[in-house]
Amino acid sequence: MTIKHAEEYRDPEISQSLAEQIRRISRKRIRLMEVCGTHTMSIFRTGIRSLLPDTISLLSGPGCPVCVTAQGEIDAFVELARENGVIVATFGDLMRVPGTDSSLQKERATGRDVRVVYSSFDAIEIARKNLGKKVVFSGVGFETTAPTIAASILSAKEMNLDNYFVYSAHKRVPPALSALMEMEGVKIDGFILPGHVSVIIGMKAYHPFFERHPIPCVVAGFEPGDILQAIHMLISQIESGTPKLENGYPRVVTDAGNQKAEKIMKDVFQTVGAVWRGLGQIPESGLKIRDEFAAFDAEKVFECRSSDGPTQTTGCACGDILTGRKTPPECRLYKKACTPMNPVGPCMVSSEGTCAAYYRFEA
């Protein structure tokens, strides 16, 4: 079935037809992983799991940027909030993520100046209005948000704004896919690849991964029809024994991606190894600020480094959940010590977190 117009992806009859086709062709027991937090929420919110046959299991992977931020990076944000004369600007989901002994929310409760913003340009405006303060933006996200944060650094330089800084904890998706395929105990038969990230990096960015790990992969949009169509494409590949890298979101995603956004990102950031919660150190999976922009790099200006301690909270199964080795109900803290009101790990905090989705839609 070919769907041409965006509104068709919301049509219940088309979704039911796709689900019926999936049930008709699905024979093997398989595990598909979405690596996008927005996909996770869409799958839960629209009840897609209930339309699929028992042969298909959907796993939620490391697609929530707040969730994969290592505990040491959270500690660095907390340390920055404790600096005299510093305003920490952050996305709201990051506020309640527990570090080793505190969180940004707890620091604000003690009087530290921590402010929720909707974009890095909001943080620039705070810096412009508070020239006697140093404003640090907590840079968390994938290739989707990294270009906008890179652009904020370029803007700050153009404005000669010397009190704006970024702590970059950005992550790159393709290296994480390789890490998942090489992890012991992880069983994945196909990937539902992220739509937002793919708009920026394009299909070309997945070619090296697919050449190394020829596993069925489909980029998907976010409406029910988008996701069901991607699942149908994956099942067709798996049942035929012919893995492919396919674009199920061609109305938005191209092979080349957004070259202007990529250039801005690459001009400001360089690729480095990075620690992911639950996945550990992954080569070439992080983005740090280039030396040319060191004056805006909070790590260098404040000599603040991410700690080398545990990548997640003791007792929390968030790491196993992010890699598909466990589901939230299999965590001994889920719905007991860990709830949305009292989260132990980021998977229960973020609006895109798997535990939060389970708690809200599977309760």
Stretch 183-208: mean pLDDT, rounded? Answer: 96
Q: Report d(CA 12, CA 47) in Å as an integer.
A: 12
C-alpha dihedral over 247, 252, 254, 256, to 10 degrees?
-140
Cβ pair 48, 361 in contact under 8 A: no
Tell me, what's the pLDDT at 83? 96
Q: Which of 221, 247, 258, 257 is nearest to 7 (CA)?
A: 221
**pLDDT band at 9; cut points 50, 70, 90:** confident
Stretch 331-346: mean pLDDT, rounded? Answer: 92
> Residue 41: how many CA atoms within 13 Å on its side-chain side?
13
Cβ pair 59, 324 in contact under 8 A: yes
pLDDT tens-digit series, residues 184-193: 989 999 999 9
**pLDDT band at 4; cut points 50, 70, 90:** low
Q: Report d(CA 170, CA 291) in Å as an integer.
A: 16
* Domains of the chain (ranges, CATH numbers): 6-65+173-247 (3.40.50.11750), 67-172+258-301 (3.40.50.11740), 318-361 (no CATH)
Tell me, what's the pLDDT at 267? 98
Q: Report d(CA 362, CA 39) in Å as an integer.
A: 16
Q: What angle do CA 195, 197, 200 make, to 5 degrees?
A: 110
Q: Which of 53, 41, 104, 87 is nearest to 347 (CA)?
A: 41
pLDDT tens-digit series, residues 271-287: 999 999 989 999 999 99
Tell me, what's the pLDDT at 2? 53
Phi, psi torsion values for 217, nearest 5 degrees: -140, 135
Percent of the chain with pLDDT over 90: 87
Q: Report d(CA 306, CA 327) in Å as an integer.
A: 28
Q: What angle do CA 310, 316, 321 make, to 5 degrees?
A: 100
Tell me, what's the pLDDT at 311? 53
pLDDT tens-digit series, residues 101-150: 999 999 999 999 999 999 999 999 999 999 999 999 999 999 999 999 99
Of the listed ranges 16-25, 298-307, 329-338, 352-361, the least confidently predicted one is 298-307
Q: Report d(CA 289, CA 299) in Å as an integer.
A: 9
Cβ pair 195, 38 in contact under 8 A: yes
Tell me, what's the pLDDT at 313? 59
**pLDDT band at 11; cut points 50, 70, 90:** confident
Cβ pair 79, 90 in contact under 8 A: no
pLDDT tens-digit series, residues 42-90: 999 999 999 999 999 999 999 999 999 999 999 999 999 999 999 999 9
Stretch 222-240: mean pLDDT, rounded? Answer: 97
Mean pLDDT of the chain: 93
- pTM for the complete prediction? 0.92
**pLDDT band at 330; cut points 50, 70, 90:** very high
The one-letter amino acid at 274 = A
Tell me, what's the pLDDT at 12? 83
Q: Report d(CA 200, CA 128) in Å as an integer.
A: 29
pLDDT at 245 over 90: yes
